[in-house]
Amino acid sequence: MTVTAEGGGPARERVYTWLRDGIISGELEGGRFLDEMWVSGVVGVSRTPVREAFHRLAAERFISLLPRKGAQVRTVTARELEEVYQSRRLIEGHAIATLCANRAGAPAELPELIEAMASSGAERDWFAVSGFDRRFHRAIVNAAGNTVLTELYDTLRSRQQRVTVRALEARPERLTVINEEHRALVAALNDHDAKEASRLLEEHLRPVSEVMSVLPQEG
């Protein structure tokens, strides 16, 4: 994926989207310092919307704002990755239990998202795959109807998608396994089988050793 700054829309939104997508895809790598003037020149905006975008990205933990140094892309550590998986298991596990208890079945859009992941994966577009993967899991959380948990889940977005990209770059063959696990999870939800759905989720949301080994242990 090549990140480009597209025209249209509020300036701060264009800056935010360009930086966010560059960080998720890895083109703006962890540890890199971001200069306001450079960003404003690339995107074609003044420095004010760049500062606004920086503050939003910092709040979402894409970057860190350092006194007298500016903005730095955050590096996802192995410990942080493990904690993200633990948090996801708690939130998604609760959502699955709720859906099964209510006999709600799987959200209708899940099969389509699985196919979209497969199509993007065939082109090795890991950025697109990470987006569809996140939408798949967020749909489950959102369907449970707890808006506070959905908002909390959304705070994991930066690390969730960045880790997905890194995992698939390290082991592209994992996508076939991921999609098979997604299909099995959809089936368990449609069967209202909370025990099986929980087992599948635990298996699915486990750290990949190849990714853990290349991430720094601490920030």
Q: What is the pLDDT of residues 177-199, one digit of tens each?
A: 999 999 999 999 999 999 999 99
Give the per-residue pLDDT at 216.
78
Tokens representing residue 184 in the block: 């099995």
Give the separation between CA 61 and CA 20, rounded to whole angstroms: 10
Is the CATH number of domain 78-207 3.10.580.10?
no
Which pTM does this prediction carry? Answer: 0.83
8 A C-beta contact, residue 35 and residue 50: no
pLDDT digits (tens, 9 = 90+) for 71-113: 999 887 888 888 888 999 999 999 999 999 999 999 999 999 9
Q: Do domains 11-73 and 78-207 have the same CATH topology?
A: no
Q: What is the dihedral of CA 219, 17, 43, 45, to 10 degrees?
A: -100
Rounded CA-CA distance 180/97 in Å is: 21
The CATH label, of 1.10.10.350, 3.40.50.720, 3.40.50.2300, 1.10.10.10, for the domain at 11-73 is 1.10.10.10
Give the model's pLDDT for residue 219: 54
Structure tokens that stand for 117 in this block: 């992941």
Q: Domain segments of the chain: what residues? A: 11-73, 78-207
**Is the CB of residue 62 less than 8 Å from the CB of residue 23?**
yes
